Chain A
Amino acid sequence: MSSDSASARYPARRRRNAIWLGLSVAAAAIGLIGLVMILVVLVWKGFAGLSVAVFTQNTPPPGSAGGLLNAIVGSLLMTVIGVAVGTPLGMLAGTYLAEYGKYSRLAMVVRFINDILLSAPSIVIGLFIYEVMVAPMGHFSALAGAMALAVLVVPVVVRTTEDMLNLVPNTLREAGSALGMPRSLVIQRIGYRAVRAGLITGVLLAIARVSGETAPLLFTALNNQFFSTNLLRPMSSLPAVIFQFALSPYEDWQQLAWTGALIITLAVLALSIAARALTATTQQK
Chain B
Amino acid sequence: MTEIAMPQIDAPGSKAQMRERAIQRFAWNDGFFRLLTQGAALAVLLILGGVIGSLIKGSIPAFQTFGFGFFTTQIWNPVTEKFGALAPIYGTVVTSAIAMAIAVPLGVGIAVFLTELCPPALRRPIGTAIELLAGIPSIIYGIWGLFVFAPFLQTYLQPFIIEIFSNVPVLNSLFAGPPYGIGILTASLILAIMVVPFVASISRDVFDTVPPMLKESAYGVGCTTWEVIWNVVIPYTRVGVIGGVMLGLGRALGETMAVTFVIGNAHKISGSLLAPGTTISASIANEFTEAVGDLYTSSVIALGLILFMITFVVLAIARIMLMRLEVQAGR
Show the binding face of A for B, using Cβ within 8 Å: 13-14, 16-17, 20-21, 23-28, 30-32, 34-35, 38, 41-42, 45, 88-93, 95-97, 99-101, 106-107, 109-110, 112-117, 119-125, 127-128, 130-132, 151, 154-155, 158, 182-185, 187-188, 208-209, 211-215, 218-219, 222, 239, 242-243, 246-247, 254, 257-258, 261, 264-265, 268-269, 272-273, 276
Contact of A96 among B37, B118, B136 (CB under 8 A): B37
Q: Which residue of A is nearest B200, CB measured?
A: A31
With A121-B253, A131-B58, A184-B30 already in contact, the answer to whether A258 and B143 are too (CB < 8 A) is yes
**What are 7 contact pairs spanning A and B, CB under 8 A?**
A28-B113, A92-B41, A119-B247, A183-B34, A185-B29, A213-B137, A272-B131
Per-residue CB contact flags for chain B residues 221-233 toward chain A (1 = under 8 Å, else 0) read: 0001111011000
A167 to B50, CA, bound (A): 32
Per-residue CB contact flags for chain B residues 254-274 toward chain A (1 = under 8 Å, else 0) read: 111100110000000000000
Contacts A38-B193, A124-B304 aside, 20 further interface pairs with beta carbons under 8 A come to: A27-B109, A31-B107, A35-B133, A88-B40, A89-B40, A92-B37, A96-B37, A100-B37, A116-B315, A121-B311, A122-B254, A122-B256, A127-B55, A130-B288, A185-B26, A214-B256, A219-B288, A239-B137, A243-B142, A243-B257
B37 pairs with A99, CB closer than 8 A: yes
Q: Which residue of B is nearest A91, CB measured?
A: B40
| Residues of B contacting A30 in the complex (Cβ-Cβ under 8 angstroms) | 106
With A31-B200, A119-B247, A246-B146 already in contact, the answer to whether A131 and B301 are too (CB < 8 A) is yes
B54 pairs with A131, CB closer than 8 A: yes
Per-residue CB contact flags for chain B residues 48-68 toward chain A (1 = under 8 Å, else 0) read: 101100110110000000000
With A21-B117, A42-B140 already in contact, the answer to whether A35 and B193 are too (CB < 8 A) is yes
A127 pairs with B200, CB closer than 8 A: no
Q: Does B138 interact with chain A (Cβ within 8 Å)? A: yes
With A92-B40, A124-B307, A265-B137 already in contact, the answer to whether A17 and B54 are too (CB < 8 A) is no
Q: How far is the CB of A195 from chain B (nearest CB, A)?
A: 16
| Residues of B contacting A208 in the complex (Cβ-Cβ under 8 angstroms) | 135
Contact of B281 among A106, A115, A121, A258 (CB under 8 A): A121
The number of A-B residue pairs with CB atoms under 8 Å apart is 266
A123 pairs with B285, CB closer than 8 A: yes
A184 to B307, CA, bound (A): 41
* Most A Cβ at <10 Å: residue of B41, B261, B288, B301: B41
Q: How far is the CB of B163 from chain A (nearest CB, A)?
A: 23
A239 pairs with B139, CB closer than 8 A: yes
Q: How far is the CB of A128 from chain B (nearest CB, A)?
A: 5
B140 pairs with A31, CB closer than 8 A: no
Q: Which residue of B is nearest A30, CB measured?
A: B106
| Residues of A contacting B32 in the complex (Cβ-Cβ under 8 angstroms) | 184
* Most B Cβ at <10 Å: residue of A35, A120, A121, A265: A121
**Looking at chain B's contact residues, is the secondary structure mostly helix, strand, loop, or mixed?**
helix
| Residues of B contacting A100 in the complex (Cβ-Cβ under 8 angstroms) | 34, 37-38
B110 pairs with A31, CB closer than 8 A: yes
B45 pairs with A109, CB closer than 8 A: yes
Q: How far is the CB of B314 from chain A (nearest CB, A)?
A: 9
Q: Does B129 interact with chain A (Cβ within 8 Å)? A: yes
| Residues of A contacting B196 in the complex (Cβ-Cβ under 8 angstroms) | 31, 34-35
A55 to B90, CA, bound (A): 42
Q: Which residue of A is nearest B107, CB measured?
A: A31
A130 to B26, CA, bound (A): 42
Q: Which residue of A is nearest B38, CB measured?
A: A96
Contact of B44 among A24, A25, A113, A188 (CB under 8 A): A113
| Residues of B contacting A28 in the complex (Cβ-Cβ under 8 angstroms) | 109-110, 113-114, 118, 126
With A93-B44, A218-B289 already in contact, the answer to whether A38 and B141 are too (CB < 8 A) is yes
Q: How far is the CB of B177 from chain A (nearest CB, A)?
A: 23
Q: Which residue of B is nearest A184, CB measured?
A: B33
